[in-house]
Amino acid sequence: MTFGATQGRIGIGPHESPTCSRRLLLVGGALMAAGLGRSDRGFAMENKEMTGNSGYATVDGLRVYYELHGGAPDAGETPVVLLHGGMMSIDTAFADDLLPRLAGTRPVIAIEQQGHGHTADREGPAKVDRMVDDTAGVLTHLGIRQAHFVGHSLGGMIALGMAVRHPDLVRSITPISATYTLEGMLPELVQMQRNPAHQPSADLIPLLPTEADFIAWQASYQRNAPDPAVFDRVLAKLNKMLAEWEGWSQAELRAVRAPALLVIGDNDFVRIEHAAEMARLIPDAQLAVLPGTTHMNIIDRGAWLMPLIEARLESS
């Protein structure tokens, strides 16, 4: 869930070790290798406001992409808003597990943030608050008065931000593998965020994304991004965003009134003590620590997550 700074184009050559490729941490929960055979060919998007179960909401000049699953969000049941992690997209984060499970029980609105998936980047720096407001803008566009928010890593930060900045839109929040400050992560990840030259330790490497993960994310960006060539630029902006992020204050967490379920893995990027502190600060928050689970594979634990999420949603 951190980023390392990038300087120009970053790649991995035939004589470089995979460890070197894992020196970039990203908000989405992962360390990422950039430059995995990127094509220079752009991707042409259809200029339509709505195509099937997908569409765009224009928020402060940016067309923010969303998908609707599990029925219309105005069908009388409070929808779930599903929020992906950094440098991920709807298809790479949720399509194989959590999205179909949630859509089988209630309407789901999945959103792709600025510079992710089908949503173009903005000029200027990336900001967590801006992504929170973009998410609120999609709900306003769709006429949604309240929703449950389920997000992984960066998406979990945004879900928490919705409860802080737009409480009237929030029925409940489920931040998964998310922190409220940078210091909530493992000390080595904080060190890597602030010193991109730091080499990950042997203990940390097994927690990081695999080369297969990197390839899948890059392929998704090639398929979906309005301009695949800006991948490195977006990554660098996210690195800077997280390094400068002030987080949410303890007072802001104490003021959250939405029912909250905090979920992390027992071998997550997020420290268990930090998650426990969050649960104490947010009134009546629940904390679940999944066994044998990392920051990367927690989004594949749909069979475990669904009963927890459903119980929280029903109690709200």
Q: Write out pLDDT tens, residues 114-153.
A: 999 999 999 999 999 999 999 999 999 999 999 999 999 9
- pLDDT tens digits, residue range 175-222? 999 999 999 999 999 888 888 788 889 999 999 888 888 788 889 999
Instruction: Identify residue 1 by its one-letter amino acid code.
Output: M
For the chain, give every domain's residue range: 18-40+186-242, 52-184+248-315
| CATH of region 52-184+248-315 | 3.40.50.1820
Bridge pairing between strands 80-83 and 147-152: parallel
User: pLDDT over 90 for what percent of the chain?
Assistant: 68
Q: Which residue has the tokens 């080369």?
A: 211
